[in-house]
Chain A
Amino acid sequence: MTRKDWINLAGLAVFVLLPTIAQTVGQPFLVNLFTRFLIYAIAAVSLDLILGYGALVSFGHAAFFGLGGYVIGIVAFHTADGSGLFGWAGTGQALILWPLAVATCALAGLVIGFLSLRTSGVQFIMITLAFGQMLYFLLVGLMVYGGDDGLAIKRRNTLPGLDLRDASTYYYLCTALLIGWVYLCRRIVGSRFGMALRSLKQNRRRSVALGYAPLRYQLTAFTVSAAGTGLAGVLWANYALFVSPDMTAWQKSGELMAMVILGGMGSIFGPILGACAFIGLEQVLTAWTEHWMLVMGPVLVLIVLFGKRGLYGLLVPEREHG
């Protein structure tokens, strides 16, 4: 086994054993904190797919996070008050709702990606930002669903055989989804498709000359990434039992990017570490001072200036990276 395998195994062990550890040390809130880690890790891993492997800097990825959450929130809203949606009574079944929400995000990703990929460079950053802002203002304007104040959700969705209201059960479900998603993403970036995506990042002109049509690869990656981010939004809505337009704000997109960079871009595993470190640091700093941004801001600058390959890059030698 290489050093990288050991580190990944250690990370996996921490995640799997965490509820037991939390119980033993008498800090049950750790389970909630780590659930947040897991949810943001799914979003960060998804973003890494296009950021690290496709060099597509999406500044509006929070839109998919919010969209996934709002699908859950809106269905729950209509199910609870009995009004139904388009003649459908609604449901609390995760097996129906979650795929529906993820598919919605994938579809949104397909449309937004198709339009955005007509541009590149700074224009791409700005047009993805613009789509994110459009969704943000749409949600703020939807007074039916709480507008600016957001929408509270009464109870978590249900899965047959599992009690998702239990913190540990929900934690393990998120762990399982993260593991599955990471496995899928590793398979994607290691496949012929992933190679083509990377070659387009490294030298677009040469790849095109070799016969790769950029749009097909980049759009697929964008759509998959949107779906994964949507899944994270679904999990967040079920965890926090609350969705608000802030989930789609541009600062949130910035945070997701910061997690990817902090952990190490283009490694799939790195962003998991990045998400944990980012949220962990936020947690520690907010407990310490109200003005935690005074520290967090410069930390971001330092990460960018000096953190060449992120935290994961510090742990894993370069030849095993990627």
Chain B
Amino acid sequence: MAAEAARAAVVEAFARRHRFRPLEAVPWLIAAAGYFLLPQYLTLGAQIFATILFVLSADLVLGYAGIVTLGQAAFFGTGAYTAGILAANGWGEPLSGLAAAALAAALVGFLSGLVILRTGGLALLIQTLIVATTLYEAANKASWLTGGDDGLQGVVEWPIFGVFRFDMLGRVAYVYCLAVLFVGWLAARLVVHSPFGRSLTGARENIARMHAIGAPVARRRLIVYTISAALAGASGALIAQTTSFVGLTSLSLERSGNALIMLIIGGVGRLYGAFIGVPLFMIAQDRFAEIDPVYWYFWLGLLMVAVVVFARGGVLGLVERLWASAGR
């Protein structure tokens, strides 16, 4: 009887930890509605979903494991080129291309993490930068394979399940990216709410204590780095497959930097920061950047400063504070 009760208690605790709250359905409902309500913006929507996945991967590594990285684009680009090169050389099946991309990116994440995660602080920051830059230069040099600066040509994606062709209006791309984002989000959520994820938060907040209780911090950081790389690689593949093109910009510092910006605007370490920061940023960029590109940079910079100084947790942080002060 005691054993039964114990087991029931464990199951109950597990369910409680991973229980879905009703509010979490909101972004998916909005996305589903978007398909019907905004038929002319589906391509933008697809790119937003892919970017949310990318920024989500950055959140895992930054917000949860506390690894400040300027090289997340390394994994995005690896995924993009893997999927793109496969498709350009005769294998255009999207789902297997996606899996291959995630795997390749995970491998790069694992190997680079193995080498550089031993350090921290500024040294680690620079090394993440170096990994991404090295891949960038390598992709440029190997232009016979990657198309170099001009980009990869001849990326032909087969229809999904042989039926759904990527169309000009972006309908298939929209659903495809949303579905992959959903799966990626589930995976991230699982990691974050598990004891493994909790230990990461512990490591981020007080690493000495974690060492003291014997938690294998280094190994766990490597694991989350690898998982994050896989998700980033998947997002790269999404962009490559839905645009039928891969360029060097998929490995650029700007891409890594933009991910950080979008994340901080939404709120770091809260899992949903990406869902808020990415649409805000991308839509604002779409609307305002061409009005006056100089001012766009200025206001973006000012916004970043303002967020760090006044709204540290980003939009989600503000929401949390409002919620708390409203006295739930």
Bind each other: no
